[in-house]
Structure 1
Amino acid sequence: MREVEIDVQVENKADRVDSVKIGQWKERNEEKDKRDGTGQHLKSKTYNYNSPGSPKHLGEEFNDARENLLNQQEESTDEEDTGVSCSTEEDVESLGETQVKVYTRHRYPTDIFHTLTEFRDSLVLTDLTLSTVDGRTSFQVHSPVLAAISSLVRDTLRHRDQAKSGEGGRSQVPGDETEPEVQSWSLCLGPEVDLITGTSLQLQYQPALSLCLSFLQNEIDPNSCLDVASFAKAYDMKRLLELADGFALSQFERVSRTAKFKCLPAKQLLRYLNSRSLWVSSELVVFRAVVAWIQYKPRKRSKLAKQLMKTIHFALMTFKEFQEVQAADIWAEDNLLVLYKRVSEDFLSNAAIAPSQCRIYFPKETLVLVGGDQITEDLGSRHSSRELWFGNSLRNHTGMAKSLEWRWLGEMPEPGRFSHEVAVLHGQLYVVGGRKYYGAGDILNSAYRFDPLGSVWQRLSDMHEQRCGFSLVVLGETLYAIGGDSHRGCLDSVERYCPATDAWSFTCPMSMALTGHSAKVLDQLIFVCGGFDGGYRCRASMSLYHPERGSSGLAEMSRPRGYHCMEVLGGHLYVAGGVTTDEGDAMATVHQLACEAYDPAADCWTAFEALAVPHVGAASAVTEGRFYVLGGSGYRDHANFHMVHRYDPAARRWENMGGMPGPHADIRAAILPKFMPSKMHHALNHSLTSFPQYQYQQSE
């Protein structure tokens, strides 16, 4: 027989039982010099009881000790008044200094481990199997523990017990395949998984928690993301909160149309609106969301209208979008008239936007024009440009007419350039080579990189060759400058630029020197089309260029072509604009209006609808599944063509997209991720009233 000694602090009316210690751990209670009203010292009292030696009866040992203790406590006459349990007054008076007696047994940890192992193996501690409906994930838990704080488990356990038959306690419910001595059962989790997540968090039961988090992540949608965000914040689940917030920001337009969005706390709404990760198609989406939120509880929320409207960049709206802002019902409130005037002023504001207000737009593409050459109206002079413009929006007019609305993005570093090339890698714009004027020494080999989010230009290493009239393509993580003109004539050389090392190096040359050609990458292959050879004869060639093996010929176009545009669209290469040789005089060149598309799989060309006007040395780009040709000039009279045309392969026709700003000839275009630069004051310094000349349409 073993003697277990339980140390209890016995106190008078003003005191309480301090601790009960059982077990193998050595613990000490520091001496307490507390006195009752008579100054009597408190002493510890030791209760003894006998216990069997088997560790499997430790629960019984504890219950016996607790029963002895309670029996002694019931003798206290002051229990109801003080809520304190003690022995008799004689015990209190006879107590001296606090005594600590510790029961230890060296085999206790080992015995406990073996006992718990037996419990686990017999499913006593893990009697409940939780699994997903699809059966892919499952784990075992202790159902009484979960039932203590989970209504889902508690109710299911109650129904299970009620369904049991009287024979051996065997379960009669589906999924209960237990033997009488092992009461194991299972529970499938579907949408009600959130009811058990809180339980898993409180118990820090990682398998259950992982299952619940996976379910919430996989099932998140515009209707549930705000609830998930609130749940994650309440339980301080940072990873889940980031996921829910990220979904709400990326799907803000859809989320803002849900009923739950209107119940969003003001602080959380402002956090979303001020986030740099908010994705919307336009500022009008943000305005509609703010108005819907305010009008849900107008009397209370109108006070926040001024603060919320500050998060909307009205200056980036189109005229048509701002007309909807002006017509909104929210301005009928008398207390918002002053705010309405301020919003109107913001629409035409020249103020710069703070970096903290940077916003990423969705869709994530914008058309940017870079540099170019412009002749004055009297053809008396011309100059190269440093300007960058971007297409802010597409406007639909009456009937079939459309136009692009342009904004000034800024300027590239000196000097201005034309007949240059641009490329985009990892969302950053590369501007390389070109000419600054028409002299022999005006061809450039300089290169710059532009970060649109920070509006920062960076000077890069110069090319080995000065180049204009060349092509620049991106293959993998590398840029390739192909052919072109230099001070020593037409080039067959190709240079490769590595952004990681900021270095240019020569690769295998082309089979012939070319300038005025066009090159594009399709399926990780570089295609080179047309151009003028070393004798400045216009070519109809199409070749495949490999940096290590050089050029190999493909099917030729139906006619020679140079200074044209080529873009990849729908697995084909579309070619338009430029010049060609005169059918009556092989040495003469004329405008090329015919258009062709190349099919790499069949190695053949197919004609499509011709252009209505010339585009020589024009810019081109593909966005939203359409082929844009922008500007250019006449080959003989050098007159600028300011028009933008767009080919729609679904409709199989060209559309007039109106005019374009700034220079029109030898200009280049690129598609950048949709952005709002932190320093885009250039785009705002020109108030919208100064843009009407770039917002018109012209009938064909």
Structure 2
Amino acid sequence: GRSCWASGSCGVCLHWRCTVFKQRHHGSNQGCSSSVGGSKTGGALQQEGKNERRVILAASSDYFRGMFTCGMKESRQTCVELPFLLAPEFEALLGCSYSGIVRLGWESVFEITCTALQLQFQPALSICLNFMQQQIQADSCLDVASFAEAYGMSDLLEEANDFVLRNFREVSATAKFQDLPAEKLLDFICCDGLYVPSELAVFRAVISWIEADPEERLPQAGLLMTGVRFPLMTFREFREVRAINLRMECFGDKEVELYGSALKEFGFSLPKSQDYCRVRRPKDVVVLVGGDQLNPDMGRRIPSRELWFANSLRSGTGLVKEIEWRRLGEIPDKPKFRHGVAVMEGMLYVVGGFCTEIFPLCAAVVSVFAHIFRLYAIGGDKEINANIDSVETYNPDTDSWSFVQPLDQALSGYAVAVLNEGIFISGGFNCKYVCLVSMFLYHPERGTTYLADMTNDRAQHCMEALQGHLYVAGGVCNLRKFYTDQQACEVYDPVADAWTAFASLPVPHVGAASVVLEEKFYVLGGYCQDDYSESGLVHRFNPSTQRWENMGKLSGAVTDIRACLLRLPQHLRQENRSHAADLWNQENQDLTFGQCIVALKWCKPIKCPVSYHFATQYFSKL
């Protein structure tokens, strides 16, 4: 880069450097010098280099396009004054015009976004808005919400408010929470989709807000307490309410009545307090596919063809949680368990798996995942005591499978996750069915690259990418010549190439399903290796609190199930669905349900030498 000076109308100059950027259109290096003259209140654009900067600005900004191409006087001036701009923000936007990159942090993103809005820099504006949505945190979400509301950005406002609702406990502990207006706080705590571990957290948040300025805020306490759902509290929790409310009623010379109204509402609990439950409906839903369960009447395991989805998450009394499961449909072919599922471009793919308990060799046990518009099926069991090292990829455009670079050893019972376009594989059984501690990065062309080993050996476990890390939980581990439950959990940092332990699972989850929903790690179902009892529970790990929560029970099959996230049409999630259980028809695969056409399509079988090995594809069209 080269430096230059320019004088502005304010008589004060700011000196800065402009990096040399590579021009995408011409494929050559183009030097650019930029100068901004000004102070805290003004700046200037100086014409240099045959107007190349004006061309770049006109191409990047609607504001400058109008200024330089519509005959305005600035198009003929050698120096254009910009008295309303600050140099750092304009420098960031000008640099983005050349490079497509904006260096952002929470200390500067709002100012740069304001300037991008003012000057109509659409590329830079998109980068700023994406930063706010992707990097939003508990200590910045309220600022994002205020900014979005002030500038009428409805999508960003919805995202920020939803972040507050699903992370209310963490947000209420920040200093900025104390600056909320009373009416905004009331809107949050009255919202049905507010998620808290228990209703006591809502009460404590209100109290902390009042105690930040008791003289001014105590008169508003009665109104705010109407947003606290006291019937959802246990007697032990309500004792804390009684002590705090009675103390606040005696504060100063303010006459407020808090405990009496809270006691009246607490004592008026309806059966199970259904009318008071907080019901959260995430935009994406957890979909369960297949699996098996024990039939108590016949004493046999029964594979499932069913698909279920979690329509809502309900918070009841105390720590009681419940998931509202709805039946989505059925797999069009045979029942299956220990199969693979993946979602690619809005379509759900089901690959491989066992189909019956009596004939367990009808299909291979395989894990499948989506990566850069392809499906990958890695390793798995092709017989009861034989696993494989082959890797196949599915091309949806040609409806065909092909082999890619194999693993360096036979592997099954592993867990796989995609993080930053890298394919990570942990644990599993080797060819002798010994649980492994290995972790490696797989590439379809280069093969495997081994990383740091896990602290604990495990197989038939879960692994999910969350907040730039890989979380591993559940499964079995070696116990001499046998296996036992592995309840220890650990998280992998790809930057440091290191593992760290986190809270152990409260109960075993062997052969469970897992997803990441709303920045939380869900482990669903499975069984206990020691006594083979089923675990129909759903546990969720919150990285912010470092705790596991019991979210409720599964509906249908509970072991060897598979799960994924889907965005379903809204009419499938409405309260009144008279034909919800009849969405799928066993005899006809092309049916209409309301305005939704549901279709099931056979894909080409993968090349693994096992009979009846197939992939099915589910999709819906409006």
- Normalising by structure 2, report the TM-score: 0.49
- Normalising by structure 1, report the TM-score: 0.44
